[in-house]
Structure 1
Amino acid sequence: MTGSAVPRPSRGQDDLLGKPPVDPATSEASRLLCAGAHLHDGYRNAVIDQLYVQEHRVVAPSPGFDAARVLAHALRARRAERRWAAAILGVWLVTAVLTGGFFGALLLPCFLLAAAHWIRGTGRNPSVLRRVAAFLLRWYGRGLLVLGVSLIFAGAVTGLFGDDDPDESPDPYDPTAPYPSDTDPFGADSYSSSGPDILDVVTVFAWVAVLAIVALVVMVGLRRGRFARVMTEELSRQHFSDLAADPAEHTTDARFRRLQQRIRLEQHAPLIMYGEQDPFCGAGTPYRPWNLAVELRPSEDGPAEPLGNGQILRRIVPLLEALRVPSPHGSAEGAAAVRDRLRELVIDECVFLPMVGMVRREDAPYGPGAFEEHRARAIEEGGESRRHFLRIRVGGWNEEVVVTVFVRVHTQGGMLMLEVAPHVLMPVHPLFRDADRIAHRHRNNNWFGRAVWAVSHTPASLVDSIVTLGRGAVSSWRVLTAGNSGALPEGPAFSVRQLGADEEASLFQDMDINRYLKSIEDRVNGGVRLALREAGYETDEFEQKIVNIGAGGVFIGSAKDSAIGIGDHNDVRRSGPQKPPGTGSGPGTGKGPGTGKGPGTGKGPAASSDRQPKEPPKEPRAGEK
């Protein structure tokens, strides 16, 4: 085959001086995304909809994490939330019936508070009109809620400490006693009333309402305690590495078991089934993708040899593998102590294949023989829809920052085209990273602090319960009626990893991202230059299109701008739309649309956790941050 000359996929464990990458199923990124599925209901619903309801969609590549495990915890969290929501809503309904609608007076302020949250929206900087309207509605609802609860407790206390004493009621046969106002002077006995006094009824209703309020507060507190226990047990750093002991993996849901196998077959496969709208879905934010075209001119030293795509890649791979080797330290112990993430560099080949023409999701050719056939054809054909890439990946910060560089070469008509598409996966969202702190704070808080937290979150429990049960019912209805099991297969709509990512990185992470990218791009350029020289072609034009920045950094004209700089210490800047949004030196601060994210301005991972994941997740319940 024409592509057999390319070295086989190489991973860090194949080199004695390299280190094996962390298992995606037990990585820190997987653990935090699983925690986010328990903590953030919007993210949980998005994961279930993408990976469970829409079963005709192929899962996006999952670099550094296990999407099947995230789905398992999302389903487990939804089952638990459904039970809590049903119990809370049941208390509201039963209490409203027992009190004859008396307890229903608290419904209005609860819905007003929920409406205030909806009006403000999930954006970080809502409009002034939204903020003013939400502020007025929120405090109006709070005032009504305080008034209603005060009247309920006042009714209960009045009935308990009232002045009415049945032993001191006037005797109708006592001639010295005055006639009561409700006594018939003609001898009718009005004390034989047909029903209980209205004050007694109100007192009973008030006490039922008080007990219901106490029950709701306790249930809200216990629900929070369950999340703390999950973070302490199966999602703790000590227990998460044991995949077999994870209770979320052991479920009787036949649909999940079937989808779990499909996800784990697809998410790390070298064959990538993609959707036309976003072929690199799952890899992260594009970071200055660029291409380069040079004329293949034979050098004056001798005749040039035929130069194929596989031959060029064969020269690039050894240079990339050398990045795993630590610099000389004088001893083997010193080299082994190096913890640079480049030692875990992963190099392999992948083929992008569209979903067009397939009838079932299971028809995708994920077998090793089928992939070899597609690879051998795609590496030299230079097709439009089926594309071969050399994929280089570095997972830093416990797989929370993943840098992936896709490299494609093609020779046609005496021209060499080099395409490089770097992508960056940003750290996990701050709310998810704070899951351990949230759980620890709850476990170690005193009883009064826990009670205050539960009381403050009880008013929102009614609307949350209705929304939770409603979304669960809609999801189940879609599973039964949407016909996704028999639908034509499609590519992923979005990546659950990108959806749960932050919009910016810390300064240290930003520096690492740029170091990884510059190191990889420099070796790629060096390999192409070496392949041209060995095949007897001139390299002057190629070298002129490489701009040296600082200490060996490389920036090549992008596909949009074709910015070129010649000479030493040149600074090439561009304002094209392909630059990811942001003001930092990295891919940006993620102010752009969609799920685009990139290293930011160095504000650090401890930035405010009020930044929420992109749609479709909604803002978490108040106080969960």
Structure 2
Amino acid sequence: VPPPAPSLTGPPPQAAPATRVPVPPAASEATRLLCVGVHHDRAFREAVLDELYVHEERFAAPSTGIDAGRVLSHAVRARNQDVAWAAGILGLWLLGLVVTGGLLFLALLGSVGLVVARWIRGTGPLDSGVALVRRVLAFWVRWMSRLYLAYVLFTLVLVALFLGGTAFSGETLFSGTLAVARLSAVLTLCVLGGIVACVALRRGQFARVVSEELSPARFPHLPGDPAETGAGERLVRLRARLRAEQHQPLVMYEEDWPFRGFGTPFRTWSLSIELRPRGDERPVPLDNGEILRRIVPLVEALRVPSPRRDPAVAGAVIDRLRELRLDECVFLPADGIEFREAAPYAPQDFEAHRVAALEEGGEARRHFLRIRVGGFDEELVVTVFVRVHTQGGMLMAEFAPHVLQPVRRAYRLAEREARRHRTLHRVGHIAWAIVHTPASFGHAVRTLGGWLRGELLRLLAGYAGAPAEGPSVAVRELGTDEELSLFQEMDLTRYLKTIEDRVAGGVRTALREAGWATDEFDQKIVHVANGGVYIDTAKDSAIGIGNDNTISHTAAGKGEKK
């Protein structure tokens, strides 16, 4: 390891008087909405649990702007609550099949029909002919099942209220048969009533958790969160490990997805120039660290509001650039690490990796200057990775922005629906439960099946003793939408343009002050700034020239538009 080199970055943002301290990740709006998501979205919850709770051999992906530990706590709590309700509802269905003489089986057929309709429809895109046929067929099956259930319910009510043995007192055997039928109908209606009550209570519990425990006013108070205080031993252990890893400057990555957790690559560019002396001057040798040290103060200055006539106005500026975070990070492959606990997260270990990676220009271990801006309460997160490398009389500059898009709008809508549900009259709660009771059997089976699968994998797959792996997915990326609002697009462009100009200015200043020619760099950087005409490499990038562009690129096997 080379001798220690001074750190490129200065004191943390909170030490600079002109900065604004960002909200802690555990209290951010993005974290709150993701916690709502694990209560609302079973598929999202199972993905979170599979990555962070079942696969305990995997390092945590960087949790940019969020606390994945808190999301995991709510995922475990939501799963436990859902499993308890699912077991109760499924038990009522099975008990009803026994005590009603099989009469409840008629209602069960309709419930199964609704599950089949959902399977027929699928979850893929609906822009093809086959998808349209599936959608029409699913619509027909769904409504036939609903009409069938309505007919069964009407018949049960009719038998329970209007038929009995007294109307046929002269025929004892036939009278007894009708009495049994009436009793079966009454029992069936009672069981269905119990299921309706469970569905209503489960929905009420969800609405209470979302509107009270996860409310914007209460959520920032971490010690009062029941998901944190009521955790079991395993969750406490995994959550502590997760929180020790998720915000480290040392990024343990999987070989195929080095930037997992930082979002989608966006307008990535790199350029190379030949280092030529300017005129007859003897230039000063430049290393990677010296160039980056010229960039740092220029980027840090973005936190300071521009001069105002009234100093009080300058202090009231809430531009997210005032919360800009800048640090050094080192990417290290997870392969070769025996256990997660063996990762070199200690400050002295990271410093050794930082010093060595800064100048070596290695392939697997890489040093970056990391610049991050979190807008819209950490829902729009822009992270820019800057790397410079000098070799063979050439200078290579890399500018790799990544964008985390907002949390899914469906989770915000689920919160609104939960609050509206709590304002309903009792009759409205019952009506809602009656409408959703037919699908309760399928929901209970899927919930218990997912829980059983996770428990079997945890107990039998041997993940606890497996060698360490890099992250497969990131919680923050799992819960994102694909669209930005116009305001978010405008802020994204502003953040990137501002940081790009400062980074380019720092490289140019370092070259000029050291006596190197800058004309080639100026020419190429102007082309990049004017629309990305000059790009030495465009892997995983979206490049636009001019205005009103629709830019499409493929990243991580998924087509995306910017």
Classify the TM-score, shorter chain: over 0.9
Structure 1 residue 560 displacement after superposition: 3.6
Change (3 A) 1:358 1:593: closer
Segment drifting more, 396-405 vs 143-152: 143-152
Match of 1:211? Answer: 190
Q: Which amino acid aligns with 2:339?
A: R
Does the CA contact (< 8 Å) of 2:272 and 2:536 recur in 1? no
Match of 1:568? Answer: none
Which runs of structure 2 are paired with 1:220-239 in the superposition (5 Å)? Answer: 220-239=199-218
> Which SS does the other structure have where 2:437 is aligned?
helix
Distance 2:277 2:536 in 1: 26
Match of 1:19? Answer: 20
Match of 1:526? Answer: 505
Distance 1:427 1:256 in 2: 27
TM-score (norm 1): 0.85
Segment drifting more, 363-372 vs 219-228: 219-228
Match of 1:244? Answer: 223
Change (3 A) 1:218 1:259: same
Distance 1:596 1:265 in 2: 33
Q: Which amino acid aligns with 1:579?
A: A
Distance 2:419 2:553 in 1: 30
Match of 1:605? Answer: none
Distance 1:592 1:322 in 2: 33
Change (3 A) 1:387 1:3: farther
Change (3 A) 1:165 1:84: same
Tell which structure's C-alpha radius of gyration is larger. 1
Distance 1:302 1:138 in 2: 81
The structure where helix makes up a greater share of residues is 2
> Is 1:155 equivalent to 2:132 in the alignment?
no
Aligned sequence identity (%):
50
Q: 2:167 aligns with which of 164, 168, 172?
A: 164
Change (3 A) 1:48 1:97: same
Change (3 A) 1:592 1:213: farther
Distance 1:555 1:229 in 2: 50
> Which SS does the other structure have where 1:148 is aligned?
helix
Q: Which amino acid aligns with 1:558?
A: I
Distance 1:120 1:353 in 2: 43
Match of 2:38? Answer: 37
> Is 1:360 equivalent to 2:339 in the alignment?
yes
Match of 1:138? Answer: 142
Match of 2:49? Answer: 48
Match of 1:330? Answer: 309
Structure 1 residue 435 displacement after superposition: 3.0
Match of 1:383? Answer: 362
Does the CA contact (< 8 Å) of 1:5 and 1:311 recur in 2? no
Structure 1 residue 590 displacement after superposition: 9.4
Distance 1:545 1:103 in 2: 75
Which runs of structure 2 are paired with 1:380-459 in the superposition (5 Å)? Answer: 380-459=359-438
Does the CA contact (< 8 Å) of 1:285 and 1:597 recur in 2? no
Match of 1:578? Answer: 541
Does the CA contact (< 8 Å) of 2:9 and 2:296 recur in 1? no
> Which SS does the other structure have where 1:4 is aligned?
coil
Structure 1 residue 253 displacement after superposition: 1.8
> Is 1:465 equivalent to 2:469 in the alignment?
no
Q: Which amino acid aligns with 2:320?
A: R
Structure 1 residue 219 displacement after superposition: 1.3
Q: 2:297 aligns with which of 310, 315, 318?
A: 318
Structure 1 residue 214 displacement after superposition: 1.6
Distance 1:331 1:585 in 2: 39
Q: Which runs of 5+ in 2 are unaligned?
A: none
Q: Which amino acid aligns with 2:120?
A: I
Does the CA contact (< 8 Å) of 2:196 and 2:437 recur in 1? yes
Q: Which amino acid aligns with 1:101?
A: G
> Is 1:202 equivalent to 2:200 in the alignment?
no
Q: Which amino acid aligns with 1:130?
A: R
Structure 1 residue 228 displacement after superposition: 1.0
Change (3 A) 1:206 1:594: farther
Q: Which amino acid aligns with 2:13?
A: G
Match of 1:369? Answer: 348
Change (3 A) 1:3 1:289: farther
Distance 1:584 1:52 in 2: 46
Segment drifting more, 293-302 vs 46-55: 293-302
Structure 1 residue 548 displacement after superposition: 6.1
Q: Which amino acid aligns with 1:383?
A: G
Match of 2:263? Answer: 284
* Cα deviation code 1:414-460 (max 9, x no counterpart): 00011111000000001112232111110112333322221111111
Does the CA contact (< 8 Å) of 2:540 and 2:554 recur in 1? no
Structure 1 residue 109 displacement after superposition: 1.5
TM-score (norm 2): 0.94
Structure 1 residue 577 displacement after superposition: 6.7
Structure 1 residue 363 displacement after superposition: 0.8
Distance 2:219 2:81 in 1: 20
Structure 1 residue 27 displacement after superposition: 0.3
Does the CA contact (< 8 Å) of 1:3 and 1:376 recur in 2? yes
Match of 1:111? Answer: 112
Q: Which runs of 5+ in 1 are unaligned?
A: 170-181, 183-190, 562-575, 601-625
Distance 1:464 1:288 in 2: 43
Match of 2:100? Answer: 99
Distance 2:135 2:554 in 1: 21
Segment drifting more, 215-224 vs 387-396: 215-224
Distance 1:421 1:311 in 2: 20
Segment drifting more, 252-261 vs 358-367: 252-261
